Amino acid sequence: MLGFSLLYFLESEHQPTKQIPVEHSHTISYLPPMPSTIITDRQIVTANAFQRRMIEKLYDTSVYENTIVENITYLSGGLKVKGYVASPKEAGSYPVLLWNRGGYKDGGAIEDLTSFLILASTALWGYVVVASQYRGNMGGEREADFGGKDLDDALTMLDVAKEYPQADLSRVAIEGASRGGMTTYRALAREHRFKCAMIHAGISDIFALEKEDERFAKLVDKITTDLSPDERTTKLSSLSGVYIAEQFDKKCPILLMHGTDDEAVSISHSEAMAKELTRLEHPHEFKIIENGGHISLKDGSYKEIDVLRKAWLAKYL
């Protein structure tokens, strides 16, 4: 799955999602106690009629009937940042999955509908799924970041998970798609706490992508405008999985998935990553999704990807 907007689904039928404050929820006894030192606002997300139809089109009613999805505001580096938490409705102890969104600014941000289609559909398998919008997005404080403190925002979601008694933080996995794949690679280089990792259509080489995509090249210029040539090379290398893979913990197996028809992030990114992991003898698998594009929910390849994801998590987490 990946970070994107489902506006192409919505158009004329879109209706605002009804959100219910936690204190008004009938499931308040299941939710973590307040006040919290890190979570400043929590709302349970309830799918409206249109969203339920969309969920049922791609999955079934259990995605919204048997999970709890929260839209939260939390503190990261002193800033208020937006995020989502999805978990099974049934009480229990569940492993944690840190899911990293793609896109930039509000483009590719998680929306209430995609919080069910991506996060809740995974939580249904028996996981607490946490995801950050990153700073400066969807009402979060400060300007949007790319390749900087956004990693802190993602990793801080694991501190958010500590507030949830059903979250078993001795079992943590990480996943990302597109730009979120880049975030995941960076997290793997910094933190060695993950039992396994999954990347779909992930950016693994910033130098290659800026040559392939003119719009992305402009973004790269923006984030490196004040750097010398040597500093620029160092910065972009630190954002590229193929150049930092030696820092990964070899006890964390990595699942790479990429569609052959991806026109946004070429499959060559996962091919290069798989080659580097092979060179390093890092445990991994590379699954090619035939005819898969960049937006798996749009082209239907999410079904094949979900089978792979579910099996990977069950095996290693």
Both tokens of 195, joined, read: 């039992």
pLDDT top residue among 215 and 288: 288
Tens-place pLDDT, residues 89-135? 999 999 999 999 988 777 778 999 999 999 999 999 999 999 999 99
> What stretch of H or E contains 32?
none
Instruction: Report how far apart the first and last C-alpha atoms of the chain are (Å, whole number).
Output: 19
Is pLDDT above 50 for 230?
A: yes
Q: Give bridge partners of residue 94 from the DSSP assignment.
A: 167
pLDDT band, residue 145 (cuts 50/70/90): confident
Instruction: Give burial (CB, 10 Å; 0-12/13-18/19+) of 306.
Output: middle
Q: Which pLDDT score is estimated for 35?
A: 65
276: nearest Cα among 303, 306, 309, 237:
237
Q: Is 250 in contact with 281 (CB distance < 8 Å)? A: yes
Query: Is residue 281 left, alpha or beta, with left meaning phi > 0 and alpha meaning psi from -120 to 50?
Result: left
Distance of CA 296 to the CA centre of its chain: 14
Integer Cα distance of 314 and 266 in angstroms: 28
143 pLDDT band, cuts 50/70/90, is confident
CA distances from 67 to 85, 129, 130, 249, 283 (A): 10, 11, 13, 32, 32
Whether residue 189 has pLDDT greater than 90:
yes
> In angstroms, rounded to a whole number, what is the distance separating the alpha carbons of residues 196 and 255?
8
What does the alpha-carbon distance between residue 273 and residue 254 come to, in Å, rounded to a whole number?
A: 10
Portion of the chain with pLDDT greater than 90, in percent: 79
Rounded to the nearest 5°, which phi and psi values hold at 91? -65, 145
What average pLDDT does range 219-227 have in this prediction? 91
Domain spans of the chain?
Answer: 7-205+240-316
pLDDT at 34: 58
| Whether 30 contacts 90, CB under 8 Å | no
User: Residue 161: CB partners within 8 Å, gap ≥ 6?
Assistant: 85, 96, 128, 130, 167, 169
Task: Evaluate whether 144 touches 134 at the Cβ level (below 8 Å).
Answer: yes
pLDDT exceeds 60 at position 25:
no
The pLDDT tens digits for 235-266 are 999 999 999 999 999 999 999 999 999 999 99
How would you label 121-136 residue by residue, b for 16+ Cβ within 10 Å and e otherwise?
bbbbbbbbbbbbbbbb
Mean pLDDT score across all residues of the chain? 89
Question: Per residue in 49-76, pLDDT tens?
Answer: 999 999 999 999 999 999 999 999 999 9
**Superfamily the domain 7-205+240-316 falls into:** Alpha/Beta hydrolase fold, catalytic domain (3.40.50.1820)
At 19, the pLDDT band (50, 70, 90 cuts) reads very low
Q: Name the percent of the chain lying above pLDDT 70.
A: 89
CA gap 50, 313 in Å, rounded: 31
| Residue bearing the bigger pLDDT, 91 or 15 | 91
Helix axes 214-224, 229-238, angle to 10 degrees: 120
Spatial distance between the Cα atoms of 122 and 129, rounded to a whole number of angstroms: 7
User: 4 versus 126: which is more confidently predicted?
Assistant: 126
pLDDT at 22: 38
E strands within the chain?
Answer: 18-21, 39-46, 67-76, 79-88, 94-100, 128-132, 167-177, 196-200, 254-259, 284-289
Closest CA to 83 of 153, 144, 35, 151: 153
pLDDT grade, residue 27 (50/70/90)? very low
Please give the sequence-ordered ranges of beta strands (E in DSSP) within 111-166, or none if there are none.
Answer: 128-132
